Structure 1
Amino acid sequence: MSRIGLSTASVYPESSAHAFAYAAQVGYDAIEVMVGIDALSQQTSAITQLSEHHGIPVCAVHAPCLLFTQRVWGTEPWGKLERSAEMAAAVGARVVVVHPPFRWQKEYAAGFVDGIAALEESTGIAFAVENMYPWRASAKPRTRRSMEMYLPGWDPSEESYANMTIDLSHAALAASDPIEMAVRMGSRLRHVHLTDGSGSAKDEHLVPGRGIMKADAFLRHVADAGFDGEVVVEINTRKATTRELREKDLRESLEFAREHFVVRAR
């Protein structure tokens, strides 16, 4: 049975410790650790202690591959992925979420598809490559002002990865239909970042249901298709001015997931 998890990124600028506390209080089943959001997220021992203290398992580790985490755990990308797998194994997670390389990481990008397969073979951990998006300055997708910033591409369904992640906010930025993407991925869809987007030029990570991505229909589709991976809420709550407002958004997202992601007996 798939669990509904909470990404530690969802409580930023509060820490990973706060994320575990929110997850326990609101009733989430698991945590995804975004490495690099705060110092605690980089320490396997700290994550283990938080998991044990709150009784919340870690379902995934998000490798530090964002622009602002480029120097977390060094600058060598394969070393960062190896450390992510080591953390995942130590805390009992089955998945490492990873973004495709940036275009300027040419050597890393050239061997990325085969390298991910080799890492999965050597570590026993699933590296679920996440869908990204063209970078653009306006709300109109794929205009002359959009830039393809990822290699071998921002859509992992076009490659031979064994495991993939769909993020609904990223799909909104790319003007992609997430259900069609899930169909292309088939059984290779291993992980879901539940969120939403309005179709603007920003990576919004809205509370699911507050955007245009029909997150309810997407959850029903993947449930009916037999998805047995993790559904992780990854929203932006930085505008929440109080803990109560942040908790409200986290609770609303969890209730949305449980209402629409229902795996029926076969």
Structure 2
Amino acid sequence: MSKVGLSTASTYPESTAHGFDWAARLGYDSVEVMVGIDALSQQVSAVRQLSEHHGIPVSAVHSPCLLFTQRVWGTDPWGKLERSAEMAATVGADVVVVHPPFRWQREYAAGFVDGIAALENSTGMVFAVENMYPWRATSKRGLEMYLPGWDTSLQPYANTTIDLSHAAIAQTDPIAMAERMGPRLRHIHLTDGTGSAKDEHLVPGRGTMGADAFLRHLAARAFDGHVVVEINTRRATDAAERERDLVESLEFAREHLAVPAP
């Protein structure tokens, strides 16, 4: 059964240190570090010390490629990926998660597929490119805001990530996406969504994406990559509610990863 990690994004706006503490106390197997505006998340030594202090490994590093992290670690996107690989190697992670370029990053996008392959060769690190989604408001038509495209299953990346909340916005079947990726699927962001235009990152099982069937599909195919809970707990009214969401997500993952689909 795949081990279940916790993304530090799941405890935002609490700090990276809080993310490690939650993961260790609740029994998660590992942590994915979202490199963001929290200064601790940007410091290799701090991340390594948190991992050692709590006795919990870092399974992945999420590169700072979100809209609100555009200036974290500078503005050169390739420099960000190189630093992400350096952090991952230092703290013992074996995956760097990265989003496809925004369409306005034309030069970066033009060489992205080949550049990711070159980085994997030069660093020995897995760069698992994450599925995204068309940007839309209320209509079903969306704007392609990512290049070479939001559906990473259609691109020749050696390693990929499936995020169930992103699949919900795109209104795409995550099992079909996983089938297209085949052995290239190396990383999962376990969450949920309802198909709205919002990136909801719900507790798995509270949306409409069939997260339980998706996990059983992975188990039946002996998926051996990382399954990382990445939910939104910003609306939690207190620590007790946040804890309930994190515990429910962990229990959901372990229950359905342990039961292969027929």
The normalised TM-score by structure 1 is 0.96
Shift of 1:196: 0.1
Over residues 208-243 of structure 1, what are the superposed CA-to-partner deviations in whole Å (9 max), with x where a residue is unaligned? 000000000000001111210000000000000111
| SS of the residue 1:127 aligns to | strand
Partner of residue 73, structure 1: 73
Over residues 116-157 of structure 1, what are the superposed CA-to-partner deviations in whole Å (9 max), with x where a residue is unaligned? 00000000100000000000001x43x2xx210000000111
Q: Which runs of 5+ in 1 are unaligned?
A: none
Instruction: Give the aligned residue type for 2:227.
Output: V
For the pair 1:181 / 2:174, whether they are aligned, the reply is no
For the pair 1:254 / 2:250, whether they are aligned, the reply is yes
Over residues 4-63 of structure 1, what are the superposed CA-to-partner deviations in whole Å (9 max), with x where a residue is unaligned? 000000000101100011001110000000001411000000000000000010000000
| SS of the residue 2:255 aligns to | helix
CA distance in 1, matches of 2:219, 2:160: 16
Over residues 72-110 of structure 1, what are the superposed CA-to-partner deviations in whole Å (9 max), with x where a residue is unaligned? 000000000000000000000000000000000000000
For the pair 1:233 / 2:202, whether they are aligned, the reply is no
CA distance in 2, matches of 1:56, 1:37: 22
Contact persistence 1:166–1:193 (CA under 8 A): yes
CA distance in 2, matches of 1:151, 1:196: 24
CA distance in 2, matches of 1:92, 1:205: 27
Alignment of 1:114-125 (within 5 A): 114-125=114-125
Partner of residue 61, structure 1: 61
Instruction: Give the aligned residue type for 1:200.
Output: S
Alignment of 1:203-218 (within 5 A): 203-218=199-214
Q: How many pairs are equivalent?
A: 260
Q: Which runs of 5+ in 2 are unaligned?
A: none
Residues 117, 258 of structure 1: alpha-carbon distance in 2 compared, 3 angstrom cutoff: same
Alignment of 1:15-164 (within 5 A): 15-138=15-138, 140-141=139-140, 143=141, 146-164=142-160
Residues 44, 263 of structure 1: alpha-carbon distance in 2 compared, 3 angstrom cutoff: farther
| Seq. identity, % | 77
CA distance in 1, matches of 2:23, 2:131: 25
Divergent runs of 4+, >2 A: none
The alignment yields a C-alpha RMSD, in angstroms, of: 0.9
Contact persistence 2:2–2:257 (CA under 8 A): no
CA distance in 1, matches of 2:82, 2:46: 19
CA distance in 2, matches of 1:165, 1:237: 22
Partner of residue 196, structure 1: 192
For the pair 1:4 / 2:4, whether they are aligned, the reply is yes
Residues 11, 28 of structure 1: alpha-carbon distance in 2 compared, 3 angstrom cutoff: same
| SS of the residue 2:96 aligns to | strand
Contact persistence 1:9–1:37 (CA under 8 A): no
| SS of the residue 1:82 aligns to | helix
CA distance in 1, matches of 2:222, 2:23: 25
Q: Give the stretch that moved more between structures: 239-248 or 79-88.
A: 239-248
Contact persistence 2:44–2:90 (CA under 8 A): yes
Shift of 1:2: 2.3
Instruction: Give the aligned residue type for 1:128.
Output: A
